Each structure stands twice: as structure tokens, then as C-alpha cells.
């Protein structure tokens, strides 16, 4: 794993957006694995800014989101489909037919493989070390599946996205597994802010897979970059 420490959210997001723009320009049919949460919001703003300024062509790009809540009504403002539309898709020229989310009716891993696999996977990280919704205890061999969210994740997401109301947060989600994530050709994990200090420090020390720290699976991939800001650094 390569670690790159940059000043703040702005610098980190510019860097990650720059990497994505380079890929989209060099490979007009690239497949991107995308993440939700607070972390990538600024990165997505830069992608939209670039689209408006430079008309970067997203028409043949395909995107595959990592996860989606289960149990929210379609169109719920906290569903990841709505989040992605508002934060990114409506601001670029991506085609709706090229946008994919996991759901319980399809084999997402087969679908991704049949589309040629993911060229670039963007990840955030939870304060408990989850990537996607692969909570501690997730198997290295895990594929896309229904997962139970931990109390910690429900609390964190309630505070960030559901006005602090834990009863509003779905208890389950469908998430790409650790094995699904490791299939990507390149992985970039973004960690921002003080709340990620402990997990970044754990990642820096990480040498092998530890089932209690899901992000440790990334030690098994040979093209992983961790971008983090000064606040996330000890």
C-alpha cells in the first residue's frame, strides 16, 4: 500500500478527482467503482467542475457503486442512488444505463465481471475499519451480499445523514464483498478528518488480513493508494 498524506480535504479531493479525470480521459470506456458517504463529496464536486470547464466525456464510462441500503423506499433522499444522482451523476454526462448499484435481484459480481471488471475503485473507510459495508467479521472471500450493519455504523450514519435518529437508519444493506473489492485493478482509499485518525494509523501498521479490521484486506492487493489529510494523521 502506498500512503500519500496531503494537507486537507480540498487537496486530497483534488488529487483523487485528478486521478479519476486522467483515467476517464485515457480510457473512454473505463469502469469506475464508486463510494458514498461524506468523504467523496468534494471529489465529486471537482469532477462536476471539470466536466463544466473541460467537457470531459463520460458518455461511455460505467460506474458501479459499492453498496446500497436495504429497506428504504425507492427515491428516499438517503438512498445511495439518490445520493449519487445529486452529488455526481446529474452534473456529468454519464448515461443512466451505465450506472449500476447492487440489488438483491442480480448477481452483481458476475455483472461487473461481464462488463470487464472495475478499473478504479474509490473507497472511504468507516471508523470501525469497514470498506463498503463490510463490517468487522467479513470474510476475505466475501462477495456481494446482504449484510447487517453494526451499531457503530448505524450511530455514525444516523448522526451524519439521518438527523441523529438511529431508528431511521436501515439495519441492513447490500454490499460488494472484500473479494469483490480486491478484484478491482486499482484501488484508492480516501480518509479525511480527525475521526479517521485511528483507522489510518491502524492501516499504516497493517501487514496482513485481520478479520476484525476489514480494510486490512487491502494489504493483499498490489495497487492500493491511501490518501489522507493532516487531520487524519497522528
> What is the residue whose three cell numbers read 431508528?
167
Part of the chain binding ligand PGA (CB under 6 A), chosen from 57-65, 85-93, 125-133, 210-218: 125-133
Task: Tell me which residues in 186-225 interact with ligand PGA (CB under 6 A).
Answer: none
C-alpha cell at 120: 478504479
Per the annotation, the verdict on 221 as an active-site residue is no
Could you say which of 128, 157, 183, 229 is catalytic? Answer: 128
Which residue number, 52 or 159, has a Cβ lying nearer to ligand PGA?
Answer: 159
- Say if strands 172-175 and 145-148 run parallel, antiparallel, or are unpaired: antiparallel
- Choose among 67, 60, 56, 64: nearest CA to 18: 56
Cα→Cα distances 57→17, 18, 130, Å: 14, 14, 32
Min CB(109)–ligand PGA separation in Å: 20
Min CB(191)–ligand PGA separation in Å: 8
> What is the residue whose three cell numbers read 479531493?
13
Cα separation, 161 vs 79, whole angstroms: 10
DSSP one-letter code for 183: T
Per the annotation, the verdict on 27 as an active-site residue is no
First to last CA, the chain: 18
Could you say which of 9, 31, 65, 67 is catalytic? Answer: 67
Part of the chain binding ligand PGA (CB under 6 A), chosen from 16-24, 97-105, 118-126, 180-188: 118-126
Task: Measure the CA dihedral 181/184/187/192, to 10°.
Answer: -40
Part of the chain binding ligand PGA (CB under 6 A), chosen from 35-43, 113-121, 207-215, 225-233: 35-43
Per the annotation, the verdict on 130 as an active-site residue is yes
H helices present in 27-61, as ranges: 41-54
Which residue number, 29 or 160, has a Cβ lying nearer to ligand PGA?
Answer: 160
> What is the residue whose three cell numbers read 449519487?
84
Which of residues 20, 33, 37, 144 is near ligand PGA by CB under 6 A?
37
Cα→Cα distances 55→12, 22, 49, 59, Å: 22, 13, 9, 11
* Total residues in contact with ligand PGA, by rule CB under 6 A: 8
- Kindly state whether residue 110 participates in binding ligand PGA, applying the rule CB under 6 A: no
Per the annotation, the verdict on 223 as an active-site residue is no
Task: Tell me which residues in 152-191 interact with ligand PGA (CB under 6 A).
Answer: 160
- Kindly state whether residue 38 participates in binding ligand PGA, applying the rule CB under 6 A: yes
Which are the catalytic amino acids?
67, 128, 130, 135
Summarize as ranges the residues that interact with ligand PGA (CB under 6 A).
37-39, 124-126, 130, 160
Amino acid at each position: 500500500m502506498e500512503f500519500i498524506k496531503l494537507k486537507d480535504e480540498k487537496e486530497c479531493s483534488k488529487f483523487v478527482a485528478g486521478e479519476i479525470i486522467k483515467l476517464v480521459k485515457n480510457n473512454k470506456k473505463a469502469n469506475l467503482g464508486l463510494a458514498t458517504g461524506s468523504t467523496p463529496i468534494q471529489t465529486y464536486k471537482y469532477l462536476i467542475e471539470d466536466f463544466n470547464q473541460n467537457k470531459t466525456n463520460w458518455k461511455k464510462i460505467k460506474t458501479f457503486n459499492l453498496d446500497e441500503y436495504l429497506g428504504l423506499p425507492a427515491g428516499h433522499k438517503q438512498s445511495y442512488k439518490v445520493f449519487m444522482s445529486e452529488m455526481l451523476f446529474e452534473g456529468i454526462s454519464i448515461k443512466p444505463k451505465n450506472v449500476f448499484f447492487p440489488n438483491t435481484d442480480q448477481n452483481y459480481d458476475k455483472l461487473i465481471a461481464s462488463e470487464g471488471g472495475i478499473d478504479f475503485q474509490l473507497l472511504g473507510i468507516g471508523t470501525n475499519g469497514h470498506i463498503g459495508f463490510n463490517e468487522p467479521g467479513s470474510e476475505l472471500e466475501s462477495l456481494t451480499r446482504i449484510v447487517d450493519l453494526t451499531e457503530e455504523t448505524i450511530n455514525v450514519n444516523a448522526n451524519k445523514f439521518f438527523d441523529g435518529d438511529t431508528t431511521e437508519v436501515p439495519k441492513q444493506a447490500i454490499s460488494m464483498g472484500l473479494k469483490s473489492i480486491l478484484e478491482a485493478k486499482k484501488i484508492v482509499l480516501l480518509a479525511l478528518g480527525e475521526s479517521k485518525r485511528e483507522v489510518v494509523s491502524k492501516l499504516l501498521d497493517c501487514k496482513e488480513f485481520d478479520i476484525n479490521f476489514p480494510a486490512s484486506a487491502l494489504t493483499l492487493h498490489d495497487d492500493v493508494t491511501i490518501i489522507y489529510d493532516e487531520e487524519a494523521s497522528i
